Structure 1
Amino acid sequence: MKFFLFPLTVFSFLIGIVLFTFPNNSDKRAESIAVCGASFGPEIRSDENGKFVTPLPGWGDYGYEITTAHDSAQFYFNQGLNMYYSYHMKEATASFREASRFDPGSPMTFWGQALSMGPYYNAAHTYVKPEGINDVLQTMNRNMENASEKEKYLIKAMNIRYDASRGGSSVKTSDAAYAEELKGLIDKYPDDQDIKTLYVDAVMLMHAWDFWNQNGTAKQWTPQVVELCEIVMKQNPNHPAALHYHIHLTEASRHPEVALANADALKNLLPGVAHMVHMASHEYQRNGLYAKGVEVNDLADDNLMKYDKMAKNLSLVKHSPHYFAVQSYCSMSGGMYKTGMENALRCRKSVSPNPENNYDQYLFMIPSLTLVRLGKWQQILSDSIKPDSRWTYAGLLDHFAKGMALVNTGKADSAAWHLSQLREKAKDPVLEKRRIPFNSPVQIAAVAEGILNSAILFSDKKYDKAIESLNNAILTEDKLIYTEPNDWPIPARQFLGAYYLKMNKAGLAEKTYRQDLEMNPANGWSMLGLYQSLRAQKKTKELAKVQAGYTKAFSASDVTPSGSVFMK
C-alpha cells in the first residue's frame, strides 16, 4: 500500500433504486426513491474529448499502488478507489475507465471497473449485473501477465465474484464465495489494509442493514467486521473505507458514539465527496448533534451541484432527497422550527410521489410531521396543501397530523374522525409494500394510530386505555428495522413518558425515558423528560449532567421545548 499526495477529491450522488414487494407475493416492483448512496445507473460514456472523467476535487490523498508505468493511470485508479469507498459508483467506474484509457494493458484498472460495477451496500438487494461486465472481466484476464502476484490473487477473487457457478446467478454476484476468497488473502497479506476493507465490504453486501438484533446485541457476523475496521483505523486513522464502513456497521447499535470521531474525519479528509460529508450526519443525528447534522447536509448538497457541473457526461443529479430527509430529521429533533420547515419543504419539493411510491409520499409529508414534532397545531390546521387523494400513505400521515392538532386544541371529537380515517387507510394493501431491506408503511401506520388514539383517550381521561394504546405502538416501533432518518420520527415512548408525568408517576416516566435513550441516544426530548422526572422525585445526582445533555441537543432550537412532546 502506498499513499499519493494529490490535493484533489470527488463527490456526487445518485438517487438509488430500492425494491418494494408485497409480502408473500412473487410480483416485485422497483421504484426510484431517495437512498443513501449511488446507483450504477446507465452506461457511462466519454465526453466530447474522449475522457470519461477529469480530476475531481476533494477526495483527499489516499491511494493504492498498482502495477503501471503511467502516473495518470495510477492517479485515476486512486480516484476511482476513493469513489468506490465513498459509494459514488458512477464516478468510480468512470475513473477506473479513465485509468484504463491511459494504460489499456493494466489488469488492475479493469479490476477496478469490475469492482465498481458490482453491488454496493445501499442497493445490494436490487443489484443486477450491468451490461459490459463480461467484456471488462475478459480484458482484465487478458492483461493478467502484467499483474504482480498479489494482484493476481485479487483478480482471482474478482473472477469468483462474477462466477455464477459459485453461488451467484446470471444477474447476481457470488458474494459469499467472493468474501471467502478475500478472507483468505487477509492471512496471506496481513499488512494490506485494503484487502481487509474489501473483505468488510463483501460481508456488508451479504448482510446489508442487518448487523444488530432488536435487543441491541450483535448479529453473529458483526463483531469480526467491526474489529477489522478498528484494526485498519488503528494502523491508518485516515483510511476512508474503514472510517465509512465503521459508521454503517455501528450506527444501529446501542452505542453509535463509538464512530462519532469518524464523522469529523470523513468530512475533513474528503471534503468534496458528497456522500462522505453526508455520512457525518449519520453520526450526528444518532448522538444528539442535530445542528451539525443540518450543516453538513447543506455542504453535501453543495458538493452535488458542483460536481454535476464538472461531469455532465455522467448524468449525475443535482440534489438528493435523502440528504434533505436526514437534514429535516435533524432539524425537527433539534427543536429548530424555522430551519426545520425550510428543510422539510425543500425535502417535499425534491420528490414526485405517485400512488405506488410510499416512501416519496412519506418525504412529501415531512413538513406535517415536523409541525407535529414541534407542536405547531394551528399551522397544521391552516395548511392549505393537501396530499393527492390517491396517495394512501400521505393521506394517512395527514390524518395523523390533523388529528394530533385537533386533540391538542380541545377538539377530541373531530380528532376521532381523523383517527377513523387513518384506520381506514391503514387497510389499503398498498401499505404492505415493504421498502426492502427496511420497513413497510403498515408498520408505521400502527405506530401513528397508537399515538393518536392514546392522545384522544388521554384527553378523555381514559388513562389506562391511553397507556395501553401507547404500549402497543411501542411494541411495533421496537420491531422496526433501523434506517436513517427513522421511518417514524417521533418516538412513542416520548408520549408515554409525558403522560406518566401528567399522571404524577415520575418513576415510570424515568424508566420510560431511560429506555428511549437506549434506543435514541442523546436525544434532547427524552433527556428533558428524564430531567423533569428526576426532579419530580428529588433525585439530584444526575440533574446537572442530564440538563447539560438536553441543552446541547437543543442548542440551535428556536425555543427549548417544555417537555418530551408538545401536548395540551
Structure 2
Amino acid sequence: MQSNRKISLRALAGSLMLATSMLAVTASAHEQTKTELYKPGVSYAAGSGKPTEGERPPLYQGLGDLTMPITTKSKEAQAYFDQGLRLTWGFNHAEARRSFQEAQRLDPECAMCYWGEAFVLGPNINDAMHEEAKAPARDAIQRAEALKAGVGGKEQALIEALAKRYGANPAASRPPLDRAWAEAMGNLAKAYPDDANILVFYADALMNLQPWDYWEADGLTPKGQGGEIVAALERALEIDPKHPAAAHLYIHAVEASADPSRAEAVADRLRGSMPAAGHLVHMPAHIYARVGRHADSIAVNRDAIAADEAFLAQSGEAASALYRFGYYPHNVHYLLVSAQMAGVRDDVIGSAEKLATITSDDVSQKLAWVQAIKAAPFSAHAQFSDPDTILALPSPGDRFPFVKGYWHYARSVALAFKGDLEAASSEAEAIEQLIDKADMSSLEEQYLPAKDVLGIAKFVVEARIAQARRDYVEAERHLNEAIRLQDGISYMEPSYWYYPVRQTLGAVLLQQGRAEEAIAAFEKALQESPRNGWALWGLLKAQTAGNRDTTDTKAAFAQAWLGDERLLSLGRL
C-alpha cells in the first residue's frame, strides 16, 4: 500500500492529485498537500453518549492483563476499571463506559472510576466528541474532582488534567480544551517518565490534536507533534513491551510512514495478547498488510471477526452502532483485501457476501469510511467472480452514488471479459455521469476523494475495453491517467483503490512485447503493494519474456500466492 504522498481531499482514506481534463470533475483544483488519512470530526452517535441501563456488564475473558492500579476499596471495582481501560484501548468505547459505570456502582467513592468514564466519553482518533456526551463527561469529571482528596498525588494530577478537557461552558470550542489536556498530560509524562499508562494517555492526547496526520508527505518527516507521539509510545513500549494500548497507538502512529516495518515486532507481540478484543486482534494487520504479510493479515482478521461476532452476540443491544457497523465490518473488509492480494478466492467472496449483510445504510450515510467498506464487495467480485455472477449482482440503488459507481465498474469489467464492449462502454459512461453530476460532497467533506476514486475506476474499465480490442496503446493511455490519479491518493487502510494500477499497465506493456518496461511497472507496483501475488506473477512473466533470472521472483510468488493459479492471466492483472 502507499505511504503519504501529495493528495487533495482527506478521507478515511486520503485524497488525490490533479486529474485529467477528460474528467471535468476530477479536473477540479487540488491545491494543497494534505497528509491526513481521514477526518474524524464527523461524529456518529454510536451509543457511547447515553447512560446504559439493565444488566450489569460481565467481566469478559480474553482481554489480557493490562492494569492501572487505582484507589478503591473494592477489588471488583478495580477489575471493572481495568476492563474499562482495556475496552477503551480496544476502541470499544460504549462497552468501556459500561464497565466504568459498574466500577462506580461497586465503589461510589472511587474517584478514578468516574475519571475513566469521563475519559472514554471524550474524542478519539476515529470519532469526535458526541454532543450528547458533553454533559455526562462533565458530570463524571466533576464527581472525580469532588472525590480527589481521597486519592494519591498521581491520581489527583490525572483528575486535574482531565478536567481541563471539559470546560464549564458546554458550547466551548474543543481544540483549546484538547490542547490544554495534552499540555497537562505532557507535564505528567515528565513527572512520571516510567509510567507506561501515563505515557500512552499523553501520546493519545497528542494524536487527537492531529488525528491520522502524523507525517509529512515524504513519510519520513514527523508532522506537528508526530515525533513526540512516536517517542512517547516507544518509551512506553520500553517500559512494558506488551502494553496493548502503546502497541495499538504505535501501529497507528507509524503505519502511514515510509517505514511501517519498524512496528512489525510490536504487531507480533500484540497479536493474540487480547483474543476477545476484536479490534486489537485485528490491529497487527495494519502493519502486516503494509509489509506484505498477507497470510498473517488474513489470519488475524479471521480471528478478529470471530471475536467481534462473539462479543456482539453476547452484548446484544448494548453494543454501539459504531462498533457493530463500523469496526466489525472493517475487520471483514481487511480480510477481503488481504485475501485479494494473496488470491484466496473463498475468503474474498465470503467476505464480500458477509459485508453485504452487516453494513448499515444509516451509518454509511454518516461515515465516509463505512461507505467505502460498503463499496468493497463490487471490486472483490470484479477481480474474482465470473462475468455472469457479476452481472447478476443487484444494483445498490441511488442513495450512495460512490457505491453505485463501484457496481458500474464491476459490470463494465464483466462485460469487457464477455466481449460485449458496447455495453461495457455504457457502464463506463455511467461512472462518468456519477462523477459529473452526483452529489458526493458529504464524502469529500470527510476527505474521501470519491470522484477521483471513481475516476480511477472509469479509466481502468476504459483500459479493459481497449485491452479487449487489443488496442494496447489506447489501454496504456487510460492506465497512465488512472495511475496519475492513484499516485495522488495518500495512505489509506485499506487503500481506497484495491490494487496498484501499475500491475495492469505491466500486463498491457507485456502484451505489446515491451518486457523491460513491463518489469519496471511490476516492480513499481510491488513497491506500492509488497508481496502482491498478482504483481509477482506478472513480474515473473515479464522476466521470463525478457530472459531475466526468475529465481527470486518464483520463490516470492510461491510464498505469496495462496490461491488457484488458474485465476491468473494477463487480462485479469
Give the TM-score taking structure 2 as reference length. Answer: 0.84
Code of the residue aligned with 2:501 in structure 1: it is A
Residue 241 (1) aligns with residue 245 (2): yes
- Selected match of 1:252 from 250, 256, 260: 256
Code of the residue aligned with 1:400 in structure 2: it is Y
Q: Is the 8 A contact 1:124 1:208 kept in 2?
A: no
Q: Which residue of 1 aligns with 2:493?
A: 484
- Selected match of 2:235 from 231, 236, 240: 231
Q: Which residue of 2 aligns with 1:427?
A: 436
Q: Which residue of 2 aligns with 1:70?
A: 74
Cα distance between partner residues in 2 of 1:233 and 1:29: 29
- Selected match of 2:285 from 260, 271, 281: 281
- Selected match of 1:198 from 188, 196, 201: 201
Percent of aligned pairs sharing the same letter? 27
Code of the residue aligned with 1:330 in structure 2: it is S
Q: Is the 8 A contact 2:41 2:127 kept in 1?
A: no
Q: Which residue of 2 aligns with 1:380?
A: 390
- Selected match of 1:407 from 382, 391, 416: 416
Q: Is the 8 A contact 2:195 2:236 kept in 1?
A: no
**Of 526-535 and 359-368, the range deviating more from structure 2:** 359-368
Code of the residue aligned with 1:231 in structure 2: it is R
Cα distance between partner residues in 2 of 1:345 and 1:41: 29
Cα distance between partner residues in 1 of 2:191 and 2:167: 23
Code of the residue aligned with 1:43 in structure 2: it is K
- CA 1:245/1:453 → structure 2, altered by over 3 Å: closer, same or farther? same
- CA 1:530/1:255 → structure 2, altered by over 3 Å: closer, same or farther? farther
Q: Is the 8 A contact 1:162 1:168 kept in 2?
A: no
Question: Secondary structure of 1:426's partner?
Answer: helix
**Of 122-131 and 492-501, the range deviating more from structure 2:** 122-131
Q: Is the 8 A contact 1:501 1:533 kept in 2?
A: yes
- CA 1:172/1:270 → structure 2, altered by over 3 Å: closer, same or farther? same
Cα distance between partner residues in 1 of 2:483 and 2:494: 18
Gaps of 5+ in 1: 1-17, 33-37
Question: Secondary structure of 2:497's partner?
Answer: coil
Deviation at 1:143, TM superposition (A): 0.8
- CA 1:564/1:248 → structure 2, altered by over 3 Å: closer, same or farther? farther
- CA 1:204/1:518 → structure 2, altered by over 3 Å: closer, same or farther? farther
Q: Which residue of 1 aligns with 2:456?
A: 447
Code of the residue aligned with 1:338 in structure 2: it is D
Aligned pairs for 1:178-197 (under 5 A) are 178-197=181-200
Question: Secondary structure of 1:368's partner?
Answer: helix
Deviation at 1:489, TM superposition (A): 0.9
Question: Secondary structure of 1:63's partner?
Answer: coil
Deviation at 1:377, TM superposition (A): 3.0
Aligned pairs for 1:1-40 (under 5 A) are 39=46
- CA 1:138/1:30 → structure 2, altered by over 3 Å: closer, same or farther? closer
Deviations for 1:2-32, whole angstroms, at most 9, x for unmatched residues? xxxxxxxxxxxxxxxx99xxx99xxx99696
- CA 1:229/1:384 → structure 2, altered by over 3 Å: closer, same or farther? closer
**Of 147-156 and 463-472, the range deviating more from structure 2:** 463-472
Deviation at 1:316, TM superposition (A): 4.7
Question: Secondary structure of 1:322's partner?
Answer: helix
Deviation at 1:120, TM superposition (A): 1.3
Q: Is the 8 A contact 1:438 1:483 kept in 2?
A: no
Aligned pairs for 1:459-498 (under 5 A) are 459-498=468-507
Deviation at 1:156, TM superposition (A): 1.6
Q: Is the 8 A contact 2:118 2:136 kept in 1?
A: no
Code of the residue aligned with 2:333 in structure 1: it is A
Q: Which residue of 2 aligns with 1:337?
A: 345
Cα distance between partner residues in 1 of 2:412 and 2:129: 37
- CA 1:421/1:307 → structure 2, altered by over 3 Å: closer, same or farther? closer
Deviation at 1:448, TM superposition (A): 0.5
Q: Is the 8 A contact 2:42 2:128 kept in 1?
A: no
Q: Is the 8 A contact 2:43 2:128 kept in 1?
A: no
**Of 134-143 and 451-460, the range deviating more from structure 2:** 451-460
- Selected match of 1:327 from 327, 330, 335: 335
Q: Which residue of 2 aligns with 1:550?
A: 557
Q: Is the 8 A contact 2:242 2:269 kept in 1?
A: yes
- CA 1:416/1:311 → structure 2, altered by over 3 Å: closer, same or farther? closer
- Selected match of 2:48 from 41, 47, 54: 41
Deviation at 1:118, TM superposition (A): 0.6
Deviation at 1:186, TM superposition (A): 1.6
Q: Is the 8 A contact 1:431 1:440 kept in 2?
A: no
Code of the residue aligned with 2:572 in structure 1: it is F
Question: Secondary structure of 2:309's partner?
Answer: helix
Deviations for 1:332-383, whole angstroms, at most 9, x for unmatched residues? 22212233212101111112447957766654443331122236334323x2
Q: Is the 8 A contact 1:163 1:173 kept in 2?
A: no
Aligned pairs for 1:330-369 (under 5 A) are 330-353=338-361, 362-369=372-379
Deviation at 1:136, TM superposition (A): 0.9
- Selected match of 1:398 from 384, 399, 407: 407
Cα distance between partner residues in 1 of 2:250 and 2:179: 20
Q: Is the 8 A contact 1:372 1:405 kept in 2?
A: yes
Question: Secondary structure of 1:190's partner?
Answer: coil
Deviation at 1:508, TM superposition (A): 2.3
Question: Secondary structure of 1:513's partner?
Answer: helix
Q: Is the 8 A contact 1:44 1:90 kept in 2?
A: no
Question: Secondary structure of 1:122's partner?
Answer: coil
Q: Which residue of 2 aligns with 1:14?
A: none
Q: Which residue of 1 aligns with 2:58?
A: 54
Code of the residue aligned with 1:379 in structure 2: it is T
- Selected match of 1:217 from 212, 216, 220: 220
Q: Which residue of 2 aligns with 1:562?
A: 568
Cα distance between partner residues in 2 of 1:126 and 1:189: 31
Cα distance between partner residues in 1 of 2:215 and 2:468: 38
Gaps of 5+ in 2: 1-11, 14-27, 30-39
Q: Which residue of 1 aligns with 2:22?
A: none
Question: Secondary structure of 1:216's partner?
Answer: coil
Code of the residue aligned with 1:202 in structure 2: it is A
Q: Which residue of 2 aligns with 1:114?
A: 118
Q: Is the 8 A contact 2:119 2:137 kept in 1?
A: no
